[in-house]
Amino acid sequence: MKKSLLRASAMGAALSAFAFTAAFAQDAAPAAGTTPPQEDGLLMDEIVVTAVVSQTSKMRSSVSVSALSADDLLQVAPRNTAEIFRNIPGIRSEASGGEGNANIAVRGLPVASGGAKFLQLHEDGLPVLEFGDISFGNADIFLRADANVARVEAIRGGSASTLASNSPGGVINFISKTGEKDGGSLAITRGLDYDTTRGDFDFGGHIDENWRFHIGGFYREGEGPRNANYTAESGGQVKANLTREFEKGYARVYFKYLNDRAISFLPQPMLVSGSNSDPDIRSVPGLDMRDQTLHSALFLTNTGLDGNNNLRTNSLKDGMHPVSTAVGAEFKFDLAEGWSIFNKVRMAQTDGGFVSIFPMQVTGAQALATEIGGAGASLRYTDGTRITNPSALNGNGLASRVALFDVDINDFSNFANDFKLTRAIVAGDSTIDLTAGYYKARQNIEMDWVWNSYVMEVKGDNARLLDVVAANGTLQTAGGLLAYGVPYFGNCCTRRYDAQYDIDAPYVSAALEMGQWNVDASLRRDEGKARGSYTASRQAQVDVNRDGSISVPERSVSIIDTANPQPINYDWGYWSWSVGANYMINPDLSVFARASRGGRANADRLLFGRVRADGSVATEDAVDMVNQYEGGVKWRGDGISLFATGFFAKTQEQNFEATSQRFFDRTYEAKGIELEASYRYEGFSLTAGGTWTDAEISKDALTPALKGNTPRRQADFIYQLTPSYSYDVFTVGANIIGTTKSYAQDSNELVLPAYTQVNLFADYAITEGLVLSVNVNNLFNAKGLTESEEGSITQGQTNIIRARSINGRTSTATLKYTF
């Protein structure tokens, strides 16, 4: 009852503010035709190009769209791509995992497992990966922001349902520079209080009156934002494009090569006391949640079997290791009588790997030894040094049974082509834009999960592996290795995928601009097929290391059951539609409304549980549908601009989570309000955004008791605020990001506390073109939990949970020369 009243009060306050703003805007705005539109910080006159029916200005569009310029990206001081997304209203980005593997949600659409299921990440209008939540292959792992980016556009809901496949929640599009402006930049960045060195460059311009180009990229080396004691980040990318302009259009080719290694931070042990509703969460002694990690220079190799059951050794230094070579082209030409053709195509050869440490169990060191080796068992380091007092080990007395999430990404190659034929019809003061298009895509998902289990101490500075010795002196582990596989998880996770997903999607749209009205409608039919095989594991005695003897871990080894692959053979199809209208009350004030229905085809997360023996899946499992309704107001005055949107969404969800080994079959409902605002006065600038969301699990087929609960990690309110001031050669500002409390799990017991993160930035123009910048990420070294494996604690005692916090304070200095 208290929760319902709180939500009702918050909703009432938000709606009152919304109504007041609209009324104030209408009263304050000048009459139509009396004043020209004012310059505004939200760039309402900028043409929207991402996932829209007709390329029109933000002011006249009936979608919720935000854009971040290259300068905006510098100000938010991101340490990874996911931190950029936190500055987009409506987007909840859990940016605590490192350079990738972030959980990204939009407008209360769920993150039941991981990744960005209902949201696609694009580069120049085509998806980086067709599915944003591939297990251990989230799309953000394969995306990097650098000096090539001209701006980032984000569409939430709306026409994303019909202008892209598998992205009913929205599209975030990284739009590249194309040489329209002559010049470039060189920059060197160095960590002031942590080990990172990065170089960025970009250069572009006109070759002659018809040809232009752009090229850029980055390379970086360092330990990263946490104390890993080895080079945990190493690599970079290069991107280039070449454009030929013609009298009635253009043609462009582009290229990208990404080869980067970055550590992945998974949940780590923390201590919790107090109660579920008011927890006191703190670091384990010797393992700070903000700047330390279980990763260690003393645990850098993993030896086991590969997907073909051959001997394999992998380096933990690889972390998240995307390798992608992409080539593409696009062209647009205006034909006679208002006809135009437009095509984008990209082919990417992508592979790599993912390896990181996940604590399956954290408990007292002696208790773990006894559980593994029986009564009288003891612990020792792998060099043979005996641990005589396990209860005092590292000042916390803890040890952990860890799973090494070790995944070979053999082939994530993809192909996408988007062709459009358009016709613009002008009738008096009205314009009708008609579009017929065809989208064709293919996504390969070929990967091997080859997880092993280890025993290690709980320590943030070069944690060591531990051996367990039984009372009779028999070694139960081998150099800290407990098992080839993960028996603690039921030996679930030695597996192989070899799947291909093909998508064909014709679509049509119509857009009318008539006086103060913009009206559009669009329809899309997605047809897809999944083909291939997946293979589980079986247990066998194997001399893995080929030393002629069988150790305890080698008595039962998880191997790929290559003789018994299971088929993948199912099709899917669904209709998506979107209808919207925008009305210009005057040049500085407009209102809009939209209704949409879109779908998301499920891919690899259906395997090992939802696929039948013949390779088929149930129709309701193949596709999750999302119904959305939204309406809002856009207004600008003298240096002020505001964008407010109310929304409602109903979402189906089928999913699987690797860390908990759980399937989901649910329906969610979410309603809320997005606010985005900007204010500029002389040298002062302020941008702000906030999203209030009231979400609930409206149906759960597998756990009916969860009906009515709030989805895990969904806060009622998230916000961002960026004030800055420029004077002469100086600029100084802050980027403030925060969230109210949320529940750790769907059971709605343990609360993840609210937190606010403050980032600072300052620029000094040394001379023309040369700028020194300093930025501080998480100035006050705040702790902010983004997830927890545990959903409840026992009151009156100290509990151990496994959770992820945002990184602690890190500072960098950048010297950049622009020419």
DSSP sequence for 574-617 = EEEEEEEEEEEEETTEEEEEEEEEEEEE--GGGTTTTS-TTS--
* Cα–Cα dist 811/689, whole Å: 25
Three-state secondary-structure class, residue 704: helix
pLDDT at 36 (0 to 100):
40
Q: What's the pLDDT score for residue 610?
A: 87
Q: What is the pLDDT of residue 74?
A: 78
- CA dist 278 and 780 (Å) reads 22
Rg (CA), the chain: 27
Task: Decide if 149 contacts 172 (C-beta within 8 A).
Answer: no
Strands 119-123 and 170-176, bridge-based pairing:
parallel
Q: Would you state the pLDDT for residue 75? A: 76
Low-confidence ranges of the chain (pLDDT < 50): 1-38
Alpha-helical (H) ranges within 521-673 are: 619-622
Distance CA 191, CA 174 (A): 26
- Which amino acid, 550? I
* Cα–Cα distance measured from residue 648 to residue 194, given in angstroms and rounded to the nearest whole number: 43
pLDDT value for 24: 34
Q: What are phi and psi of 261, to 5 degrees?
A: -125, 130
Mean pLDDT across the chain: 91
Task: Determine the Cα–Cα distance for residues 153 and 122; give it in Å rounded to an integer.
Answer: 10
Instruction: Work out whether the CA dihedral 307, 313, 316, 321 comes out positive or negative.
Output: negative
Q: How many residues does this entry show for the chain?
A: 819
